[in-house]
Amino acid sequence: MKIVVIQGPNLNMLGVRDQNIYGPMKLEDIHAQMKAFAEQNNLEIEFFQSNLEGEIVDRIQECMGDADGIIINPAAYTHTSIAIRDALAAVKIPAIEVHLSNIHAREEFRHTSLTAPVCAGQIVGMGPFGYHLAMVGMTQILNEVAAMKKAQQAQQQAAQQ
């Protein structure tokens, strides 16, 4: 099973930018922890970060037929990007939205997520640990999807006999 982690604008500045909000950990460190989890759980993982909305849309679309799940932090695009929302909805791949800070406890314009309604879940305010929670959640979702497909195949085989 393959999970693609998509990081939005300014996340490449983690560890430097607003440490009182986002903490001191760098994006590479978060990715290293996610990679370790993936290896322990026999998952393939790929990372992508862009400050450009169109590149994020392209990467989401490229996941179709290539990935089983998406973990995404759209960052500021969470509150503005219908294009990212539409791409997530179109690919029909389970996605979990992650935010380091609690967007609901910040400025009012951050309270609305355009992308969350097309995601399987949203994790906010847990700092870097939120990405670990997303990995656990995505593993569970993918295992449930695999079990459902296996049960459907068994039913089809039984019906053919």
Instruction: Please give the positions annotated as active site.
Output: 22, 99
| Structural domain for 151, as ranges | 2-160
Q: Give the model confidence (pLDDT) of 44-72 as tens digits.
A: 999 999 999 999 999 999 999 999 999 99
Long-range own/partner contacts, residues 103-112 (CB < 8 A, 24 or more apart) = 103/78, 106/21, 109/79, 110/78, 110/79, 112/79
* pTM more than 0.95: no
Count: domains in the chain? 1
Tell me, what CATH number does 87's domain have?
3.40.50.9100
